[in-house]
Amino acid sequence: MRGDEARVVAQFGAWLRGAGWRVETEVDFCDVVASRDGQVLYAEAKGRTTAPGLDVDTLYGQLLRRMLPLPSGDGANAGDVEREVRYGVVVPQAARFHALRVPEAVRGMLRIDVYVVSEQGSVEVVAAPHL
């Protein structure tokens, strides 16, 4: 299991690049920062671990600390209106259940999508509703 997070990040990054995203890893302690066509994705990843529930909970906490304020509508965050910011929880198939314990409605409000990376490198997107 050791080093599995690196595999998850590498496979997720390759998948994003294949879809036309510009991908950077380990930016200001964030595992993945990707951009494409005015969209920005901040993602935290975990690999297979002996305590997937605890580690995914930690991942959500790390992601919450990286969140930008929502545009206020008064022009204060006008730059954020021009780009769509989303957040990603990136986990191996073994942690899918744990990543989806956060209710869909909550993930939707926070603009969090879950990305599940298989052993073979394919990526499943569990998109939160756009509220």
Q: For residue 83, what pLDDT is reported?
A: 64
Per-residue pLDDT, averaged over 54-75, amounts to: 83
Strand partners, 91: 116
Instruction: Extract long-range pairs of 9-16: CB within 8 Å, 24+ residues apart.
Output: 9/45, 9/90, 11/117, 11/121, 11/123, 12/43, 12/45, 12/90, 12/115, 12/117, 12/123, 14/121, 15/117, 15/121, 15/122, 15/123, 16/41
Please give the residue that has the higher pLDDT: either 20 or 127: 20
Average pLDDT value for residue range 88-112: 96
Could you tell me which of 52, 40, 48, 39 has the C-alpha nearest to residue 11?
A: 48
Q: According to the model, what pLDDT value does residue 68 have?
A: 82
The CATH number corresponding to 4-50+57-69+81-126 among 3.50.50.60, 1.20.120.160, 3.40.1350.10, 1.10.150.120 equals: 3.40.1350.10
The pLDDT of residue 69? 81
**Which backbone phi and psi does 84 adopt, to 5 degrees?**
-90, 120
